[in-house]
């Protein structure tokens, strides 16, 4: 297991960098030093020409869709089995989310289902690297090329995962990452988007930063000299204030400096869970294809025995000392907001025939596996803690034999 000093997640330059920010007393002339450093370091680590920081990992996707001009009347294909923020980003633009089914073994969005959902109104696809594993991107990008579709990789749960030897997030037209508290690296909140497309990066930056004329793909803040001119025209387009706070940038930079150890700790913990379940044929782990490297935001398995309920397994695990088990998200289109069409007036942009599709039966594979998924946390910074939880999992399995 990769060594994590003092068995703590925060062990690097976090405090030092935060103190440097506080020492500036937030003077505007000093206000973007850590933003620049974070973006440059992230771009280098993820082998991408451009990286743009955001207040969270949902604003990232909204900004990318806005930068591509996607809005009312357009359709964006998304998976239903993930946190609903992926769909929120689509709704924020006024576009229509179209849900594609998932693969029964990897739990990732299924390229065949994507192909079935493409219509003349389709403009984009958002994939999700669920639980730390990249979707099958080659056929997805082939479909995108064929139909001239924009592809966003939602990699909130996948840092340094690999697909065909490439870093997950460098395959689509852009990729979104999250620094929310549960993610591989964190600053409490925050996000990042990477892309190799200069024009797209310029557009995303302007959406991120109030449409300012003085920002660019690599420049996140206008200068004092600019705004001291009464004739200065600030806004060349509408935009949002999605900039990541400097304090969060400082923490995220320190976390990024230790990303390899932080990711490896989760992978090592997942391997202990994998070993604990190796002889069980009714608790089936997420399949990691041979051309992928999983970064294991969580270790997840599918409960296939009909005589054991999800709650029974969870309760037994916790009774034996387990830290608990997380459930997979209810499928987005089955959430009350879709059932009741309470989308803060965005529902007016969705065609009636599409609204009718948001119902049980839309994605049968996702509907069948979602109630059976058991998600085990992997954020153990002490190897002994991870081993203890894996041993409890083994005992839980044995208790149902």
In whole angstroms, what separates CA 132 from the centre of its chain?
A: 9
Distances (CA, A) of 265 to 2, 14, 257, 295: 6, 19, 15, 10
Rounded Cα gap, residues 302 and 342, in angstroms:
31
Sign of CA dihedral 369, 388, 294, 173: positive
Rounded Cα gap, residues 311 and 313, in angstroms:
5
- 277 and 397 Cβ atoms separated by less than 8 Å: yes
Active site residue 183: yes
- 294 and 342 Cβ atoms separated by less than 8 Å: no
Rounded Cα gap, residues 308 and 305, in angstroms:
6
Q: Which one from 183, 221, 272, 302 is the annotated catalytic residue?
A: 183
Nearest alpha-carbon partner for 174 in 57, 83, 82: 57
Q: Which residues contact 14 (CB under 8 A, 6 or more apart)?
A: 250, 251, 254, 255
DSSP codes of every residue in 276-299: HTTT-SSEEEPP--TTEE---SEE
Other beta carbons within 10 Å of 157? 24
DSSP codes of every residue in 139-156: HHHHHHHHHT-EEEEE-T
Rounded Cα gap, residues 149 and 156, in angstroms:
21
- 317 and 325 Cβ atoms separated by less than 8 Å: yes
Other beta carbons within 10 Å of 118? 18
User: 241 pairs with which residues across the strands?
Assistant: 209
Residue with tokens 């932080």: 262
Instruction: Kindly give the pairing relationship between strand 191-195 and strand 174-178.
Output: antiparallel
Rounded Cα gap, residues 233 and 107, in angstroms:
48
Catalytic residue ranges: 183
């Amino acid at each position: 297991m990769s060594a994590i000093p003092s068995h703590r997640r925060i062990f690097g330059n976090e405090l030092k960098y935060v103190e440097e920010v506080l020492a500036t007393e937030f003077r505007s002339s000093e206000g973007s030093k850590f933003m620049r450093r974070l973006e440059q370091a992230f771009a280098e680590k993820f082998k991408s020409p451009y990286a743009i920081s955001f207040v969270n990992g949902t604003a990232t996707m909204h900004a990318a869709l806005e930068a591509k001009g996607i809005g009312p009347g357009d359709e964006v294909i998304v998976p239903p089995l993930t946190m609903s923020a992926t769909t929120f980003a689509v709704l924020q633009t006024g576009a229509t989310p179209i849900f594609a089914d998932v693969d029964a073994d990897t739990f990732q969005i299924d390229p065949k289902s994507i192909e079935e959902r493409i219509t003349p109104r389709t403009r984009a696809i958002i994939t999700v690297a669920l639980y730390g594993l990249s979707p099958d991107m080659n056929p997805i990008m082939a479909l995108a090329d064929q139909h001239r579709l924009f592809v966003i990789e939602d990699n909130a749960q996948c840092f340094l995962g690999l697909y065909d030897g490439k870093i997950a997030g460098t395959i689509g037209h852009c990729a979104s990452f999250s620094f929310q508290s549960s993610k591989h690296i964190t600053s409490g909140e925050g996000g990042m988007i990477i892309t190799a497309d200069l024009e797209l990066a310029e557009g995303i930056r302007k959406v991120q930063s109030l449409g300012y004329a003085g920002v660019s793909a690599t420049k996140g803040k206008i200068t004092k000299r600019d705004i001291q001119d009464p004739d200065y025209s600030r806004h060349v387009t509408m935009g949002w204030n999605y900039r990541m706070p400097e304090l969060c940038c400082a923490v995220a930079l320190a976390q990024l400096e230790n990303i390899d150890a932080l990711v490896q700790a989760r992978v090592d913990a997942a391997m202990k869970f994998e070993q604990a379940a190796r002889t069980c044929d009714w608790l089936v782990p997420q399949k990691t294809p041979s051309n992928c490297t999983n970064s294991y935001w969580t270790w997840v398995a599918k409960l296939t025995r009909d005589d054991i309920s999800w709650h029974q397994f969870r309760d037994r695990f916790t009774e034996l000392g387990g830290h608990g088990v997380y459930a997979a998200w209810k499928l987005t289109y089955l959430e009350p907001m879709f059932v009741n069409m309470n989308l803060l007036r965005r529902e007016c942009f969705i065609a009636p025939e599409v609204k009718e599709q948001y119902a049980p039966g839309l994605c049968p594979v996702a509907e069948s596996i979602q109630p059976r998924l058991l998600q085990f946390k992997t954020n153990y910074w002490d190897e002994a803690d991870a081993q203890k939880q894996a041993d409890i999992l083994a005992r839980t399995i044995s208790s149902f034999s």
